[in-house]
Structure 1
Amino acid sequence: MYKGTFLIKDNRLFFPATNRNRKCIGDLLSTIPLKGGSILEIGSGSGEHAVVFQKRFPEILWQSSDPLLIHRNSIAAWIDYEGLNFKMPQPIDINVENIPWIIPSKVKESLHIIISINMIHIACWNCTKSLFRESSKLLKNGQFLILYGPFKIGNKHTSQSNNLFDKSLKMQNKLWGIRNLEEVSNEAIKNSFVQEKLCQMPANNFSVIYRKVSK
């Protein structure tokens, strides 16, 4: 089930992709003014991104989340391992399709960014729709929803490796697969977001920054 995942110890999971992309994602976040407030991560997985970004941006509060208990246990173990218990909140159980999301009031009141890394291609399309729908309710005008992962552009894969990856995803679950950026952005528009920036990232991935706007 957790192909490419390694259990270190004390419930901590290690996702190899995290080491490869955490710097570039962190560099992208550094271009957005992070003056306090909180960031909600949807689908935090092992929790490695969460603790790295909490340490890199100590002025913000990084709220991790994941629907799987094994992942939440890993996140909690990473928080403890990195000595962040007095700074960083414990992970919360969010299944993106189950709305409204139950979020601590401290996080909800100070929220200014929602981020989801490598999630929408390993979930059904309804999860993407729910992500935009609920994010639109939680974020104020001018605030951001950030997606990271592989995308098709013009309904075409950007590399042969992504094409093969897409096929492997569909073999695991026919509802999974690399999403077409234009379809994702159309869903954004339906929920009062505009595409602010599209950044090409390493390993044929992209970061897409959506900004909430008035209807």
Structure 2
Amino acid sequence: MIIYIREKSGKTTAVKAAPSDTVRDLKIKIMQKGISLKFWDLMYFDEQLYSTKKLSDYGIKHKDTLYLKEALRGLGSSGFLLSIAQPSGDVMKMVVNKSDCVIDIKQEVEREGGPGVASQLLKVGDVEMQNEKTLMDYGIAGDAVIWLEDANESKRKSKEERKRKRVRNEKLKKRLIAVVFVIIFIIILIWAYLEGKIQINP
């Protein structure tokens, strides 16, 4: 089914969804359309939608419209500082919450002048961070540092590494075949000698 998302500016965006989708699933699809939900609540009429519930729980149907309402963020918010180390060596800092999705962080990076969302690869340690997961899913709930890499560059390096590995495997395969042929040849010579087929003159 199609759900319409209306922003405060009046702009409406169509998003494909299923009644069995959770609100969190829908939020991810909305953010993939380039709409940030970082400071917004998702509303159906006057009811705020909660991430763990399904769209069917709210009676949301095909061609219904949902609205974005500015979230209340009072003093004592659980925000903390996230540092994003870039390939250039620069560090981008932003205030985030543990419930923020990775794709939301990527959108913020893009707004701050970083690469586009599709070109970003965020890592915590050696683990690639997935768009639909939250910072809390990676154990990030306080001041932390994550790493930003160029996704296209990473794909290129990965492709080159696979190519090098394939070439190494091909070379190893050829060497093994050569060794097998030598062994077979030696076995044949020994057999022929023992059978008197050939003689070795002293």
Considering the TM-score relative to the shorter chain, is it more than 0.5?
no
TM-score scaled by structure 2?
A: 0.26
* Larger-Rg structure: 2
TM-score scaled by structure 1?
A: 0.25
